Amino acid sequence: MGTKIVSVTIERHYSKQATIEVEVDDNIIDDELQTFLTNDDAINELLENALFDSSLIGDDTIYEYQDPTNNDGGHL
């Protein structure tokens, strides 16, 4: 009986999430609020620090195989 090579792949994505609270004047609304939150260097630094301190979260793991000899493959 012969042998063949079958490829098995594992894939897992990781993510991080952080939330900060920012005190903003009541009169800053809509597009102005979005611009302020996007362009403020202090807010960006707070977000980056919070993200650095957070833990990686592992999402679902995907297992797949490929059998090129029989033109077969799929999820395990």
How many Cα neighbours within 13 Å face the side chain of 1?
0
Sign of CA dihedral 45, 50, 52, 58: negative
- Model pTM above 0.75: no
DSSP E strand boundaries for 1-76: 7-15, 57-67, 72-75
Domain membership of residue 55 as a residue range: 7-17+28-75
Residue 2 falls inside a structural domain? no
**Domain contains 23:** no
Assess if residue 1 is contained within a domain. Answer: no
Q: In this structure, is residue 43 part of a structural domain? A: yes
In a domain, 67, yes or no: yes
- Domain assignment of residue 22, yes or no: no
Provide the number of structural domains found in the chain. Answer: 1
User: Over its length of 76 residues, how does the chain's per-residue pLDDT go in tens digits?
Assistant: 899 999 999 999 999 999 999 999 999 999 999 999 999 999 999 999 999 999 999 988 999 999 999 999 999 9
Is 38 in a helix, a strand, or coil?
Answer: helix
Residue 3, CA atoms < 13 Å, CB-side half-sphere: 2
The two three-digit tokens of residue 14, written as one number: 């990781």
